[in-house]
Every structure is written in structure tokens, then in C-alpha cells.
Amino acid sequence: MKLATIRTPDGLRAVRLTGDWLVDLGFGDVGELLARPDWREAAQRTSAGAATYPAASADFAPLVPRPSKVLCVGQNYRSHIEEMGREIPKFPVLFAKFADTLAGANDPIEKPAETDEMDWECELAIVIGQRVRRATAEQAAAAIAGFTALNDISMRDWQFRTREWLQGKAWDATTPVGPYLVTTDEVPGGVHPVLESRLTVDGVVKQTANTSDLLFDPVHLVGYISTVLTLNPGDLIATGTNGGVGHARKPQEFLYGGETVEITFEGIGTLTNKIVKGI
């Protein structure tokens, strides 16, 4: 299944993609749907007279508008680790974002006036489908509802002010996520996804990768993170970016406003975000 949260005149709605149409599932958003133990069955049901919306003109909201947690993994592709001049980590490098950081798949992203080093990061995100703590590998796999796309846009001049990265990663409405949650049964490789990804800036390819190259795969990440804290339905885990970020280029490249950044994951969809200058 492909699930999404869209904005409508009547507010946010959780929908399922069926052909060229989005079918209203009777829930306010995907997070509300995932909170049900029977969310898979509920997402497959279609009520008589359910509203439908054309997918081509949908206004996508953040896939899960108010997750209890947005966890992110740094340094999880060898190509990115090497370009940043760091050692291969023995354990996942974790940091957090917040619900206010999230944006929709096609939303404009404001470049904060306070940064001169706004950067892109193409990432696959795990969407949690059931509550889990101290998960075994089997439990971790079962807890993964599916995957979506995420752009971990970073303000590098703020990120590297200190050893902790949060202040460069958690600016309001700068992390687009979506457009769809694709359930694991429809993802090549399932909970060990094998997906091609591409990021472009104004049509120029900046990043390409295959998710099979992740150092710590989704099952390992869910098990590791759930050792520390409880993961709840709708929580998001961004699995890290690959080589090709602007900060590591020579000369460095950043986003200044006016650019269009696109991220495409095969089978999931495309994030298309115009960068606009902040006031």
C-alpha cells in the first residue's frame, strides 16, 4: 500500500493511493491511522461513499504531522563518511528533530536568514507501525510499517558551531517528508530495502545511492534505538545520507534561495521543494 496525509478544505486526511486517485480512509492523518493495532486492515477498507481526491493535484502534508519522535542517523553511508573525513562508526550516530521541523512533500522551504550554509541530504526514512521497546531482530522487523523519503536539510554553519548537531538540524519546517508511506510488502527487499535514490538541485544530479549500502540497516536501527527509548506508531527514523552533500564539495555548494531540490526514491515517490529566501 501507499499511504499519505493530504491537506483538504476540510482539514488533514489520511488517504490510500488507488490508481490515480487518493481514497479517504476516515482518519485525520497517517499517524492517527498507525495508532490503531489493526491499521493494515483499516487502511485496506473503503467505506461506501468515501471521498476521493486526484493524486496529481494533491497537497501533501508531512506524512505523519505530529510524531512523538523524529530520530536521525548520521554517518550511515561509507561514501558520506569518507567525504566528511570521519572514521567508520562502531555504533549508530543519533540525533533528534521535532514535529515542527517537518514539511510536506511539495512545500516551499524557507532558507533562514541566519544561515549562509543551507545544505541538502537525501535520506530514506523508516516509519514505525507498532509500539516497541528493546526489540529483538524479529520484533524490530515487525515494528516497521514501511518507508518514505526525507530531506535532512542542514544549516552547516550552525551545525558545526558545537560538537552537538541539533542546532543545525531542527529549524522549523525545513525537513520535507513523504509523499507516501510504502508498506514493507511492496518494497524491494522488504525490511532490508534495496532502493535507488537520487537528489537533484535545479535538475543537476548531486546524490545517488542504493539503500543496500547502509552500514546499519533499518532492522538494526529499530533494535538499537528501541533499547534506549520506546518507539511509537508514527515515529520516524531518518537513516542517513550518502555522498554528494554540498558541504563536502570542492568548492562547497549551498542553497541560497530560488533553487528546486528534488529527491526521488524508486517506488516511493518524489519530494519537490522550492527553496525561498527568508526575510
Q: pLDDT tens-digit profile of 34-54?
A: 999 999 999 998 877 899 999
List the domain boundaries for the chain. 2-60, 70-277
Mean pLDDT of the chain: 95
**Three cell numbers written together for 227:** 533499547
Q: Give the mean pLDDT of 79-92.
A: 81
Question: Is-contact 170 72, C-beta < 8 A?
Answer: no
Smallest CA-to-CA distance from 89 within 103, 71, 76, 80 is with 76
> pLDDT value at position 82?
78
User: Which CATH number applies to 70-277?
Assistant: 3.90.850.10
The contacts of residue 173 (CB under 8 Å, 6+ apart) are 100, 101, 102, 103, 107, 109, 110
- pTM equals 0.95
pLDDT interval class at 83 (50, 70, 90): confident
The Cβ of residue 25 has, within 10 Å, a number of other Cβ atoms equal to 24
Find residue 198's DSSP bridge partners.
208, 264
**Three cell numbers written together for 67:** 510524531
Percent pLDDT > 90 in the chain is 90
Q: Give the mean pLDDT of 239-248.
A: 93
What is the C-alpha separation between 56 and 80, in angstroms, rounded?
A: 34
